[in-house]
Amino acid sequence: MDIVIFLKKLNARYQEYRSRGEMKHCVDSAPAPSTTEDPNAERGPLGECAPHNGEYVQFLTHFKDCTVFYMCNWGTPIEMQCPSGLHVNSNLNVCDWPWDAGCAAGQ
């Protein structure tokens, strides 16, 4: 399944559960893990995930790899990979052709 289609379906499912009030039990059920980033780390997301999910899925880019991105889930960044040959387009939150993605990371 194409990553863009997967993420759209995931967001739609989240919105469906959220509109029915089925996500309320998750808000304070556990403390959010620390997302403090080590400035000397070679890998990892740029930025931090919000502690709670919002109306839309939050995405973060990778420190230096244009093919890797992170989908935030209740404060935890989940590493994901673009399909072969594509780069992260952080303006559109999709995997895109490298010449359209505008990724400035080290790859």
Written in H, E and C, the secondary structure of 14-82 is HHHHHHCCCCHHHCCCCCCCCCCCCCCCCCCECCCCCCCCCCCCCEEEECCCCCEEEEEECCEEEEEEC
Q: Are 80 and 3 in contact (CB under 8 A)?
A: yes
pTM of the model: 0.58
pLDDT of residue 40: 46
- What CATH number should be reported for the domain whose range is 3-28+43-101? 2.170.140
> What pLDDT tens digit does each residue of the chain (107 aa) get?
567 777 777 777 777 766 766 655 554 444 555 555 455 455 688 889 999 998 888 999 998 999 999 999 999 999 999 999 999 998 898 999 999 999 877 54
Amino acid identity at 40: N
Domain residue ranges of the chain, discontinuous segments joined by +: 3-28+43-101
The pLDDT value given to residue 28: 42
Contact 39, 17 (CB under 8 A): no
* Residue whose tokens read 């502690």: 51
Q: What is the pLDDT of residue 25?
A: 52
Helix (H, G, I), strand (E, B) or coil at 83: coil
Q: Determine the pLDDT at residue 99.
A: 94
